[in-house]
Chains A and B, each alone.
Chain A
Amino acid sequence: MSNTDVLLMAHLMRRAGFGANKGELDKLVENGYDKTVDYMLDNDPNIPVSEYMIRRYQPDYGASLGSTTNGANWMYRMIWSDFPLREKVALFWHGIFATGYAKLANGKVLHDQIKMLLKHGMGNYQNLLVELSRDPAMIIWLDNCESHKGAINENYGRELLELFSMGTGNYTEEDIKEASRAFTGWTIANSDYMTLKCQRDSVWPYGRLSMHFEYNPDDHDEEEKTFLGETGNFNGEDIIKIICEQKATAKFISRHLYSFFVADEPPVPEWPYKEPNDPEAIEMLSKVYFDSGYDIKEMLRFLFKSDFFKSEDVWNKRVKSPVELVAGTLRLTKEFNRPSRDQYFTTLNAQYMGQWMMSPPSVEGWHWGTEWLDSGTLVERVNFSSSSLGNKDNIGVKEIINNIKSSLDSPIDSEKLVDASLEQLGALSTSENTRSILIDYADSNLDSSEEINDEEIAELLKFVGAMPEYQRS
């Protein structure tokens, strides 16, 4: 296998998952790039530890009295799934269809939304938008339960068009009103009681209650509506059907996919005024959108196999989001092979770095790219990755250290040690400058007359975790 094959596979696994170690990459390269893409897209992931096991030890991971245990449960899936593409796609949609604890105060309902994204996120986009419109977290978050026949609340209609499908500049204020009328009657069961419990963060009398969609035909506006130039007695499904037929929608979703999986685009509010960085790629993805009947899975298949994705120009250019950084590191260190109280606190690191799962800062979700980095979050990121990779007691770190030792001959050559370390951490590419810093570090800290010990390698891994390249995907 060529080094380029390994580097390309490492790129795929960082973007379509949370990274892979050398052993995993070697197996995947043997299997072949296209087959790996197809396997990830066409098979359910294998998650070796069941939900039963998690709930036995950590009941709040299933019942969600707290505001953060739902995210910690999701993190288990991210670190245990053999191919966490489904998690990655759900994380992608979670950043777009942002709903959060601040308003909902019900971690179970938020968790249920993530499960919906896991189930439908790689399916048909039209179906996904219908499911989203029926999702209790979204209905409360954007007040559709407060939108009534003759007295609409425009929040959901507006964000459906602006943030979830077409982007500004492609519809009118009147279209928002008409879409909102079409979604009247789309509410949740017991909406008064449920919203009151959300407002009060009430767990009484007997803990959280999940919520479910309810269609109230008596509260639905049955009059004729005109939306994006079409007229009829539209219901919500009709509005979504019309939305999905729009070129603007194809472009909007393609640009989101490109920005998340390929290379950072400008923030969404700038999209009406700034052309995509790679208009040809967006054009091709838009074509797949229509050719496949709005199938997200087929768009991803095309994207991962495209030249613009495989191009070395986009490797290691994206700043890992905090969740990507934490999940990727924990997959390497394997420090949680069964439910553990420590996992909860480790997951909170993503929050300290600026990404509180299931509580994005606004309806716009998180701003990605270099906005993840400031002087505070960078320190958190470096401290986290260094301490995890440098802990030789972690099972995965032990394996990495043993693999490094067995791949090197005595006396230890610093250059070979650094290259072996980078390779074991998932074919990590560095600049020549970074590599020379690591080699200098190894030169000055290793006693070449002695057999290298685990502590010395762990210290080097800790140093790698602090390198800028480790923070990138």
Chain B
Amino acid sequence: MTTISSKIKYKNTMGLAAMQGRGFYYPMDLAFDSSEKIYVLGRGHDGDPRGCRIVVMDMNEEYYGTFGSFGNETGQFIWPSSIAVNSKDNLFISDEATNKITVMSKEGNYISSFGEFGSDNGQFDGPNGLAFDHDDNLYVVDHRNGRVQVFDEDGKFIRKFGKPGDLSGELNLPWGITIDSKNNLYIADWGNHRIQEFSNDGDFIKSIGSYGKKDTDLIHPSDVAVDLKGNVFVTDWGNHRFKAFNQNGDLIYSTRGEATLSKWAHDFLNTNIEEKEARSKSKLVFELPGFDKDPHEESSHVEKYFWSPTSITFYKGEIIIVDSNRHRLPVYLVS
């Protein structure tokens, strides 16, 4: 673990692996509504789509239920990727398999959907990252088309920017997106191993990171968040790390992860005494004998490490990370 800034501290972990009900099965993203409820979007997997659902909870791990399911019907999803909430507390969910954005009420009722496969305006080839600007316009990362499309709240196309490539301002299979207090955009340029900042009009401003395993490097970043000071928080998906950079792009924090047992995890172990006992006698942190320096493999062995984190959210002084392969949400405090 590398820590540079003492202003970022691990707080706790939320969640539990669960194919249905209270817990997650490959969570991909989350969003808050105005009442501070969290909507955690799950993907499930191709052999078991029950994880394809939205789990509603709060920061105290209070569980409010689930809605949404796998399928091709309205209000259902195949490969859901990202979720965002607008000022009216409606949920927008992208699906990179059906090429649709689905709109639902916060109670889980289907409202509408838009999008279809293609490369024309309003069409998608793998929509994933979603974000709303201050005017409630929706920004959709249209990843295989290498661009971002902007829609009004009714799903009407407004404009687009970006094109596939690896030059400044170009995008290679981008994933997550966020919008800062100045309405600037930050995009996790997954295929180019960098975070790019754009103006609201889509003009390139700056780039952070390049391919590598050093702390200052990135490998396939999945998502980005920004705080009010302009600090940039990144889920370094391919290095399986959480990293933070200041507004100049200098690294201020990097961690491999230090997840602990969540409230739900404690509940599970307290009702499964044999597992709790066997676990308590186990050494779950150890020096690893190799694994070809592959952090994916290391993370598969060491439970507290991040394993393919897919989303990062800054909310009221806290960072919440979707640690997808570990089906949990580690939380960090930012002071």
Q: Using a CB–CB distance below 8 Å, which chain A residues touch chain B?
A: 51-52, 55-60, 62-63, 65-69, 72, 108, 189-190, 192-193, 196-197, 200, 202-213, 341, 344-345
Nearest CB to that of A211 among chain B residues?
B301
Note all chain B residues with C-beta closer than 8 A to A68: 47
For this complex, 27 residue pairs linking A to B, each with C-beta atoms less than 8 Å apart, are A52-B219, A56-B173, A59-B45, A60-B47, A63-B307, A63-B325, A65-B17, A65-B25, A65-B26, A66-B46, A69-B45, A69-B47, A72-B46, A108-B300, A190-B278, A190-B283, A193-B281, A203-B17, A204-B265, A206-B17, A206-B259, A207-B17, A207-B327, A209-B301, A212-B288, A213-B289, A344-B46
We find that the number of chain B residues with CB closer than 8 angstroms to chain A is 53
Is there an interface contact between B220 and A52, defined as CB atoms closer than 8 Å?
yes
Q: Assess whether B45 is in contact with A207, with CB atoms less than 8 Å apart.
A: no
Contact B17 A204 (CB under 8 A): yes
Compute how far the CA of A403 lies from the CA of B327 in the bound complex, rounded to whole angstroms: 48
Query: Given A204-B268, A206-B328, does the pair A192, B43 have CB atoms closer than 8 Å?
Result: no
* Contact of B284 with A by CB under 8 A: yes
- A207 near B326 with CB under 8 A, answer yes
Nearest-Cβ distance from residue A358 to partner chain B, whole angstroms: 13
Cross-chain contact A62 with B296 (CB below 8 angstroms): yes
Q: Contacting A63 at CB < 8 Å: which of B261, B278, B300? A: B300
CB neighbours of A52 from chain B (8 A): 219-220, 238
Contact B289 A212, beta carbon cutoff 8 Å: yes
Top 5 nearest A-B pairs (CB, nearest first) are A60-B45, A66-B47, A205-B265, A190-B282, A344-B46
- The answer on a CB contact under 8 Å between B283 and A196 is no
- The answer to whether B47 and A344 touch across the interface, beta carbons within 8 angstroms, is yes
- In the complex, number of A-B residue pairs with CB atoms less than 8 Å apart: 121
A205 touches B261 (CB 8 A): yes
Return the chain A residue nearest B13 by Cβ: A206
With beta carbons under 8 angstroms apart, the residue of A58, A189, A192, A341 that contacts B278 is: A192
Docked CA distance A63–B25 (Å): 11
Taken together as a complex, chains A and B put the C-alpha atoms of A68 and B220 apart, in Å, by 26
**Cβ of B136 under 8 Å from chain A:** no
Complex interface: chain B residues within 8 A of A205 (CB): 16-17, 261-262, 264-265, 268-269, 328
Cβ of B191 to closest chain A Cβ, rounded Å = 9
Among A66, A196, A210, A212, the residue within 8 A (CB) of B48 is A66
> How distant is A86 from chain B, measured CB to nearest CB, in Å?
16
In the bound complex, residues from chain B placing their C-beta under 8 Å from that of A58 are: 45-46
In the bound complex, CA of A58 to CA of B51 (Å): 13
Give the distance in Å from the alpha carbon of A200 to the alpha carbon of B282 in the complex. Answer: 17
* Smallest CB separation, B301 vs chain A (Å): 5
Contact yes or no, B301 A212, CB < 8 A: yes
- The chain B residue with its CB closest to the CB of A203 is B17
Residues of B within 8 A of A197 (CB): 275
B19, B45, B269, B281 — most chain A CB neighbours (10 Å): B45
Which residues from chain A contact B175 at a C-beta distance below 8 Å?
56
B307 to chain A, nearest CB (A): 7
Shortest beta-carbon distance from A278 to chain B in Å: 40
- Among B16, B18, B220, B308, point to the contact of A59 (Cβ < 8 A): B308
Q: Which of A60, A206, A341, A345 touches B326 (beta carbons < 8 Å)?
A: A206
| Complex Cα–Cα for A197 and B26 (A) | 19
- Distance (whole angstroms) from the CB of A471 to the closest CB of chain B: 27
- Over the window 158-175 of chain B, the binary record of Cβ atoms lying under 8 Å from chain A Cβ atoms (1 yes, 0 no) is 000000000000000101
Are A206 and B46 within 8 A (Cβ)? no
Residue of A55, A200, A207 with most chain B CB atoms under a 10 A cut-off = A207
Separation of A203 and B303 alpha carbons in the complex (Å): 12
Could you say which of B18, B48, B284 contacts A190, with CB atoms under 8 Å apart? Answer: B284
The answer to whether the Cβ of B190 comes within 8 Å of any Cβ in the partner chain is yes
B-chain residues with CB within 8 Å of residue A208 when the two chains form the complex: 300
Contact A189:B300 (CB < 8 A) given known A60-B26, A207-B17: no
Chain A CB within 8 A of B297 CB: yes
Question: Which of chain B's residues have a CB closer than 8 A to the CB of A192?
Answer: 278, 281-282
Instruction: Assess the B45–A57 pair: CB atoms within 8 A.
Output: no
Say if the beta carbon of B79 comes within 8 Å of chain A: yes
Assembled-state Cα–Cα distance A173/B87 (Å): 75
Instruction: Find out whether the CB atom of B220 lies under 8 angstroms from the CB atom of A204.
Output: no
Q: Which of B19, B278, B328 contacts A193 (CB 8 A)?
A: B278
Closest beta carbon of chain A to B209's beta carbon, Å? 16
Q: How far is the CB of B32 from chain A (nearest CB, A)?
A: 23
CA distance A169 to B173 in the complex (A): 59
B18 contacts which chain A residues (CB < 8 A)? 204
CB distance from B231 to the nearest CB of A (A): 26
